[in-house]
Amino acid sequence: MQEKILDFLSKKQGYVSGDQISHRLGVTRQALWKHIQELKNLGYEIVAVPHLGYRLDSCPDRLFPYAVTRELNTHFLGKKVYYFDSVSSTMDTAMQLGMKGNPSGTLVLAESQTKGRGRLGRNWFSPKYKGIYLSLILKPRVLPARASMLTLLSAVSICEAIKEMTGIDTQIKWPNDILAGQKKLGGILTELVASVDEINFVIIGIGLNVNNDKKMLISAATSLKEQKKEFVNRITLLQELLRKIEVNYLLLEKEGSESIIEKWRRYNITLGKRVKVYCQREHIEGEAVDIDTDGGLLVRKDSGIIEKVMAGDVVHAR
């Protein structure tokens, strides 16, 4: 009912009488009053004036499922949303939900994480209401060996959404670092539940620094607020991100990897550089020459031999 009330109020300019809302939505005046109080407690600024009715003045900076899915207009992504004020990690929650059979496109959102994690066992700093922390359950029709295409696809989608909503140019450092002004703005963590030849489901975890103040960030990190010098609306950015992921996901299913890799090349800053890729116990050094159709990085070593790396930490030498 609260969602219906918000929808009704947001479509009207100015005041709407309590009678009109009660009548249209089939609630008593008393119940309406209670719902309005609850919405106010959630941070919605609703002005109530006797004889005039209610007016919605502003919505809170919260990623409430209602606000995120409203006018989202996706086909399958975000049709089911789980929202938390705080979780240990959206990856763990999504994993449990995936195991319970939640459908492809299910979105897990949190306003903060107590144990947000990054790649290679690192922590992901997830302060409350400052960033976007999400995990998506996806069930792509690709072989497990191709799952890293989803990481590239997500990276492209992040860059596209940021450009569209803020005008900020971002870059991708292989495989999954999103940079702005040469500092880390976001990252992607991909986890997989699969057998040898079939993906059961994939979890794409995305962390983005949005409204973090500069003084709260380590020197190697940045936020959209720091880059743009103004507050960024997390809801509209998240909506655009979900739309872009869906578009690129459908493109991948229809046209295959090359369509995504082509877009990825436009944003990447790794190809053409001399790199050191640290993988578990060894490191590979050479020139990053291309991306393979499975998302692996092709590195030409000084011996001339081209080696493919599927995961690792890249350091750009020049």
Binding residues vs ligand BTN (CB under 6 A): 89-91, 113, 116-119, 122, 124, 133-135, 176-177, 187-189, 205-207
Query: Closest distance between ligand BTN and the C-beta of residue 294, in Å?
Result: 20
CA separation for the pair 137, 109 (Å, rounded): 12
Q: Quick one: 98 or 205, whose CB is closer to ligand BTN? A: 205
CA separation for the pair 282, 284 (Å, rounded): 7
Q: Quick one: 18 or 175, whose CB is closer to ligand BTN? A: 175
Q: Quick one: 119 or 225, whose CB is closer to ligand BTN? A: 119
Q: Quick one: 53 or 205, whose CB is closer to ligand BTN? A: 205
Which residue's structure tokens are 């900076």?
61
Q: Quick one: 3 or 92, whose CB is closer to ligand BTN? A: 92
Query: Closest distance between ligand BTN and the C-beta of residue 275, in Å?
Result: 17
Angle (nearest 5°) at CA 188 between 187 and 192: 160
CA separation for the pair 153, 291 (Å, rounded): 13
Strand ranges inside the chain, DSSP E? 45-49, 53-58, 81-84, 107-110, 131-138, 171-173, 177-180, 183-194, 199-209, 274-279, 282-291, 297-300, 306-309, 313-316
Residue nearest to ligand BTN (CB): 187
* Longest pairwise C-alpha distance within the chain: 83
Query: Closest distance between ligand BTN and the C-beta of residue 280, in Å?
Result: 16
Q: What is the CA radius of gyration of the chain?
A: 22
Query: Closest distance between ligand BTN and the C-beta of residue 159, in Å?
Result: 14
Q: Quick one: 50 or 121, whose CB is closer to ligand BTN? A: 121
Q: Quick one: 150 or 188, whose CB is closer to ligand BTN? A: 188
Query: Closest distance between ligand BTN and the C-beta of residue 120, in Å?
Result: 7
Q: Quick one: 154 or 248, whose CB is closer to ligand BTN? A: 154
CA separation for the pair 318, 316 (Å, rounded): 6
Query: Closest distance between ligand BTN and the C-beta of residue 185, in Å?
Result: 10
Query: Closest distance between ligand BTN and the C-beta of residue 103, in Å?
Result: 19
304 Cβ partners below 8 Å, 6+ apart? none
Query: Closest distance between ligand BTN and the C-beta of residue 90, in Å?
Result: 4
CA separation for the pair 182, 168 (Å, rounded): 13
- Tell how strand 282-291 and strand 274-279 pair up: antiparallel
Query: Closest distance between ligand BTN and the C-beta of residue 277, in Å?
Result: 15
| Sheet containing strand 306-309, strands side by side | 306-309, 297-300, 282-291, 274-279, 313-316
CB 171 within 8 A of CB 129: no
Q: Quick one: 15 or 125, whose CB is closer to ligand BTN? A: 125
Angle (nearest 5°) at CA 220 between 219 and 222: 85
